[in-house]
A and B are shown apart, each in its own frame.
Chain A
């Protein structure tokens, strides 16, 4: 009798246990990221909801600050302790760097990628970024493509001064000089190292050209880094510095965008996440503000946000990884996510009709640049170089932009800095 009661109770407990944990159905995922506010948070929520709808349990692990700086500390601590997060917001060559350290194999999501035929859904350049093991196995999933080299401008200010959007750097310099005389801050800028680097690379492809960028920045050719073209690039940086205001150092990028929005300043160079600021303020492209690529020869600096999937212990978590990866490449998700975030889908077959004119232009430019060899990974946003080299270049760029260093000196420092990290 007693044994019977025991058996029945055990049965109940077991049943209760099983039914009380739907987590087992869709897997679980601990996701490290720094998208904690505004459009980015809304965009991420789409993923969270999708994941939950499919039975997964999402454990949020946000660490804001410095565009991911604080999160990197947390991430390394977790990896070294042997318990990496299920997915982490990692992009660019850093993905392969982690693979070199041996913490990504056996590439849990590769089976999902082959099953869903990601090779056909992504452009080869983007796909390569997502692959490990000598670019053969998928180990990360892309969620978007950001364009970096945009000019954002206040239409009213330009109209009031009889100016059109510049299509060459000399044209920009002339326009800026005119604006300065009229009491407008020509160039709104936030003096943080990554922003300085962003402007630098836009200027590099504009003044030096796509091939120059490829040689100097991507291949780290020391002659190109220290040569006369680089000096010209730094010259233009110095000119740009003259068009900023005194509050520039340390300013956050969205505050600079705010200056353009309210007409205190005319131009800003920033990636297309700036679009979100305009949208939030109810401003429309072409009517209140202009978005145009910075002058270059059909260059296109891109940044692909992605999530890396580390090697995991526990079936539950591996299930979670596979589900996440699949959801991230989902057609609808890519559309909604990018509508919120201001970027364009990484997946090639997403219908673009709901996107605004800047995004549509970006997609068209992307295809053209891919065909003509102007599609270039942004070094400032970690797509082109290993972190040590990116940091070395960034140090020199930001030092130069925030001082009176001569262009020649900057170029030679660039060579020295890069040499040291090789």
Chain B
């Protein structure tokens, strides 16, 4: 190979690095544009919630509030102080928490147990069983609303928090089982075999060997379930009554009322407040989400 001319080399390097910088800037530009697409609605929501109704009527979507007012937020959270059809979010917030926590815990636990049993203890028909579980992910909830109502009625829990927890747990089982099964299947069987040789039984292996290394997928499952159950409207409005309804029902009652002046700022503030828990969950656990996905459903 010829020894390259040092000046030429330098020139090539410079143009290469300029090219890299150019691509780098292009990268940021594209990512930034997409960022705007994703952030725009949230920007609109927050900005509107901080404006007064006058400003909203006169201006357009994108303008910043002339004067930042948190009144809309206060109204959305704790109401207007009079009780005439006043819907606000605070009591319903806790209803949702009371509902989500048990449902998530139970469905996650059983999902883990099922995933474990399906993958580390092979038996005839275990794949078919898994397939049957999976199909449950696709059921449109409106289609099963009535038979569910009948069943809950027969069980006597059609109008209580127990009914809602049962419904969400049941339909979460398909997803949680899928997540854990796909995660455990990529964990080497050797670990289990070693533990068995050491004399450990079914449950001991589960609690002492598998669960400790399951944190990524547990986080994934919890996030998925939390989001789905917190954001549910259909089951919440059908199987709970008035004051014990979850937060989306209250949000719906605030935002979709069909009479009188729509207070857009209150609507947006309410929508945002209702979305804060899930947002928080995503922000803080986002890291784990990626890690969990790598080890779980992605590779199949």
* Residues of chain A whose beta carbon lies under 8 Å from any beta carbon of chain B: 30, 34-42, 44-45, 59-67, 70, 73-74, 76-78, 80-83, 85, 252-255, 258, 273, 276-277, 280
Contacts and interface: CB of A to CB of B under 8 A. Distances in A.
A65 B257 CA distance: 6
Interface stretch (B109-117, B142-150, B212-220): B142-150
B150 A38 contact: no
A61 B241 contact: yes
Range of interface residues on B (Cβ < 8 Å): 20 to 34
Given A36-B87, A81-B239, A280-B260, 18 more contacts: A30-B242, A35-B259, A40-B259, A41-B85, A42-B85, A60-B242, A64-B253, A64-B257, A70-B256, A73-B145, A78-B159, A80-B150, A81-B152, A82-B158, A83-B153, A252-B262, A254-B262, A273-B259
Contact of B259 (A74, A76, A276): A276
A73 B238 contact: yes
Contacts of B197: none
A254 B85 contact: no
9 contacts: A37-B257, A59-B241, A59-B242, A64-B257, A70-B256, A73-B142, A80-B146, A80-B150, A80-B153
Contacts of B146: 76-77, 80
Given A44-B85, A62-B87, A83-B153, A38 B241 contact: no
B249 interface: yes
Contacts of A60: 242-243
Contacts, number: 123
Contact of A38 (B238, B249, B254, B259): B259
Interface in B123-153: 142, 145-146, 148-150, 152-153
Given A61-B242, A62-B87, A64-B252, A39 B237 contact: no
Interface in B245-293: 249, 252-254, 256-262
Contacts of B252: 63-65, 70
Contacts of A77: 145-146, 148-149, 158, 238-239
A316 B242 CA distance: 19
Contact of A45 (B85, B152, B154): B85
Contacts of B238: 73-74, 77-78
Contacts of A276: 259-260
Given A61-B241, A73-B237, A255 B262 contact: yes
B241 A30 contact: yes
Of the listed residues B150, B241, B243, B254, the one surrounded by the most CB atoms of chain A closer than 10 A to its CB is B241
Interface in B230-245: 234, 237-239, 241-243
